[in-house]
Structure 1
Amino acid sequence: MIELEDLTVAFDDVTAVADVDLRIDRGEFVTVVGPSGCGKTTLLRAIGGLQTPTSGGVRIDERSPSIAQDAGDIGFVFQQHTLLPWKSALENVTFLREMAGESPDREDARALLDSMGLEGFEDARPRALSGGMKQRVAIARALHLGADVLLMDEPFGELDELTRDELGVELRSLWRRERKTVVFVTHSVPEAVFLGDRCVVMGDRPGRIEAVFDVELPEPRDAAVFGSRPFQERVAAVRRTLHENHD
């Protein structure tokens, strides 16, 4: 469980995030959407222990983020894939466990790559992979670490719309199997609605939570959901809230 209580993060005279209270249950997929500069990434960094709160706090299973991170219980996936160019896809997946002093499970790493649609690309270097394939490797790497919490900062932001949709379907399917606790930051309202059990809407800086939407859509979610009426209605509701709280 992730608990944020009265979380505020300020940089000099700029307050990025203010007075955030949020509880995320174990195994829940929560998306965060809001205008540029509203503090979404700062919020995610504070959850992951990469940013120290100015006031308030974050607890992950009753521990501080730094302790959870040291225990290998937090995995990160960023907009930039950060793959090592001299290593193969398989070696990139196992790298974080090796750095943590743990023995990698190459069969598990291969299975993760297969589940992400990368069967046959285990030995390929990043330069031979498309943008979507690189992000698939980055997601597999985070999962192979064995972390209970997965923090994702616009991982599909640089991809074309079709590839984003495909990866969204794959990620949601993978989450249903693994049941990690996921916090996913995005600028895309449709992406936030499709992926999340709940969608958190932030307003303009200083970033505050303006609304939290429960997303109830048929499972398993596949590409057909994008054209459904319930999906479109939820997207419209989130967009209305964004516009109402945007100066």
Structure 2
Amino acid sequence: MIDLDGVGVDFEGVRALEGIDLRIEDDEFVTVVGPSGCGKTTLLRAIGGLQAPTAGAVRIDGDSPAVAQAGARLGFVFQNHTLLPWKSATENVTFLREMAGEEPRREEAQDLLASVGLEGFEDAKPRELSGGMNQRVAIARAIHLGADVLLMDEPFGELDEITRDELGVEVRDIWRRERKTVVFVTHSVPEAVFLADRCVVMGATGRIERVFEIDLPTSRDEDVFGSRAFQEQVAAVRRTLHESYA
């Protein structure tokens, strides 16, 4: 469980986050959406222990983010895949476990690569893979670490729309299978709604404007995008965003 209690973050007198109260349950998929500069990445960094709050506290199963990070309980996936260019896909997947002092599981890593559509590319270097394929490797790497919590900061931001949709379906399927707690930051309202159990909408003042319970089937594929329920919930999230900036 992730608990944020009155979390605020200031940068040289500028308030990036203010009064953030949020509880994220185990195995929940939560998306955070909002325009540039609203504090959503700062929120993710505070959860992950990469940014210390100037007010309030963050707890992960009762521990500080630093303790959770030291115990390899947090996995990160960024917009830039940060793969090591001289390592193969399999070696990149096992790298974080090795760095954490854990035994790398090559066969498990290759199974993970197959599960994200990369069977046959186990020995490929990042330069031999497309942007979407490299992001699949980065996702497999975070899962292979064995972390309970995955923190994902716009991992599809540089990809084309079709690839984003495909990866969204895959990430949702992986989440259902692995039962991780996921916090996923995005600019895209449709992406936020498609992926989430709950969608957190950030406003211009670094506050949470509203949290939406997403009412869609647990198992989701591309057909969801054309459903009336999906379109209505996307419209509701967009209205909240527009009202917060009016």
The bucket for the TM-score relative to the shorter chain is over 0.9
For residue 152 of structure 2, what is the aligned residue in structure 1?
Answer: 152
Q: Which runs of 4+ in 1 moved over 2 A?
A: none
State the shift of 1:181 in Å. 0.2
For residue 60 of structure 1, what is the aligned residue in structure 2?
Answer: 60
For residue 137 of structure 2, what is the aligned residue in structure 1?
Answer: 137
Partner secondary structure for residue 134 of structure 1: helix
Alignment partners' CA distance in 2, 1:163 and 1:71: 33
2:236 matches 1:237: yes
The one-letter code matched in structure 2 to 1:49 is G
Alignment partners' CA distance in 2, 1:191 and 1:246: 20
State the shift of 1:219 in Å. 3.0
- Pairs aligned (count): 246
Alignment partners' CA distance in 2, 1:184 and 1:155: 8
For residue 224 of structure 2, what is the aligned residue in structure 1?
Answer: 225
Partner secondary structure for residue 52 of structure 1: coil
The one-letter code matched in structure 2 to 1:122 is E
The one-letter code matched in structure 2 to 1:45 is R
For residue 169 of structure 2, what is the aligned residue in structure 1?
Answer: 169
Alignment partners' CA distance in 2, 1:33 and 1:101: 35
The one-letter code matched in structure 1 to 2:228 is R
Alignment partners' CA distance in 2, 1:81 and 1:190: 22
Alignment partners' CA distance in 2, 1:183 and 1:236: 22
Alignment partners' CA distance in 2, 1:215 and 1:108: 32
Partner secondary structure for residue 157 of structure 1: coil
Residue by residue over 1:98-125, the C-alpha shift from the partner in whole angstroms, topping out at 9 and shown as x without a partner, is: 1111111111101100000000000000
Partner secondary structure for residue 84 of structure 1: coil
Pairwise mapping of residues 76-225 of structure 1 onto structure 2 (< 5 A)? 76-204=76-204, 206-225=205-224
The one-letter code matched in structure 1 to 2:237 is V
Pairwise mapping of residues 13-24 of structure 1 onto structure 2 (< 5 A)? 13-24=13-24
Alignment partners' CA distance in 1, 2:218 and 2:39: 31
- RMSD between aligned residues: 0.6
State the shift of 1:246 in Å. 1.0
Alignment partners' CA distance in 2, 1:77 and 1:214: 24
Alignment partners' CA distance in 1, 2:173 and 2:43: 26
The one-letter code matched in structure 2 to 1:211 is R
The one-letter code matched in structure 1 to 2:150 is L
State the shift of 1:216 in Å. 1.2
Q: Return 5+ residue gaps in structure 1 as ranges.
A: none
